[in-house]
Amino acid sequence: MNRPDTIRLAALPTPFEPLPNLSRAFGRNGQAPSIWIKRDDSTGFAGGGNKARKLEYLVAEALKRGADTLVTLGAIQSNHARQTAAAAARHGLRCVLLLTDSVENRSEAYRNNGNWLLDRIFGADVRLLAAGVDSSVVAAETMAALSAQGRSPYLIPVGGSNGLGSLAYRDAVLELATQAKSQDCKLDHIVLPTGSGGTHAGILVGVEETGLPCRVHGISVSRSSEQASAIVSGLVQEIATLEGRPRSTARLEVDASQVGPGYGQPTAAMVEAVELVARTEGILLDPVYTGKAMAGLIARVRSGAIAPGETVVFWHTGGAPGLFAYPEAFPG
């Protein structure tokens, strides 16, 4: 197929940098893995993050269809919702966010700070759904109501994760491959958070297309390995169908050991990871996605699954605004 239309939201390419201090923190007998970072927290749009890449495809498709309203779903502290609201604002579109109050036992900051605050600053129509409500049903009802009002709504799935949105991360791997070659960096592993699955799926396809000789480790933040794998696998095949390519044979790995009590629930390993990266490299992770993904990377290094002398890329998907919704997790 022809390359889909895109708009420009992200400042690309994002940096690809070594983390020497973090690498040294895991040295054993003078040897340690070489840890690098792909800085998609530095996409430069609406607080940064991976969703800017996906929205370049999805908002372009919405505009092509004549949409005047973007509708999407997520949790109260959804990074995707925040960037969707900003993309709508930039393009003169209305934005309706259907956000589910699904994360239990959080402080007041969770419901009035972080991404929730930014959604309102960007001018979104934020509608709060109670835990247990079927958000897909509410989304269908919302689309129908907007259409009945004479609007032209466009529904973006949770996380921007469908075949079209996931294509953005196939492209991102091409970007990474070029950067790694220019720095003479041979990649052995890529580690990233796996939530709605689109970033993971796109990276798998990109690794397969470029022939990068590395393993891709998805660290689940919300589901069992089996559930997350099924979602990512389905999206990989959506990409293949969209582009008219054969079915992918990419190796799929999902680790659910860092989910802890559930999506959005802090863990001791997450707190350690966030503080360690902040205090060695001056880089902020987030409590929901990248903190748990870095905890997964750390566990692999400590177990020897990522060996001294190997090179691992941590794909930073952003989310730092979420830190302001979790002050109780970092008492100092």
- Find out whether 318 and 50 touch, Cβ atoms under 8 Å: yes
Active-site pick, 23, 42, 78, 222:
78
CB 270 within 8 A of CB 291: yes
**Cβ atoms within 10 Å of 160's Cβ, excluding its own:** 29
| The pair of three-digit structure tokens given for residue 329, joined into one six-digit string | 């997790």
If DSSP states are collapsed to H, E and C, what string results for the chain? CCCCCCCCCCCCCCCEEECHHHHHHCCECCECCEEEEEEHHHCCCCCCCCHHHHHHHHHHHHHHCCCCEEEEEEECCCHHHHHHHHHHHHCCCEEEEEEEECCCCCCHHHHCCCHHHHHHHCCCEEEEEECCCCHHHHHHHHHHHHHHCCCCEEEECHHHCCHHHHHHHHHHHHHHHHHHHHCCCCCCEEEEEECCCHHHHHHHHHHHHHCCCCEEEEEECCCCHHHHHHHHHHHHHHHHHHHCCCCCCCCCEEECCCCCCCCCCCCHHHHHHHHHHHHHHCCCCCCCCHHHHHHHHHHHHHHCCCCCCCEEEEEECCCHHHHHHCHHHCCC
Active site residue 220: no
Residues acting as catalytic residues:
78
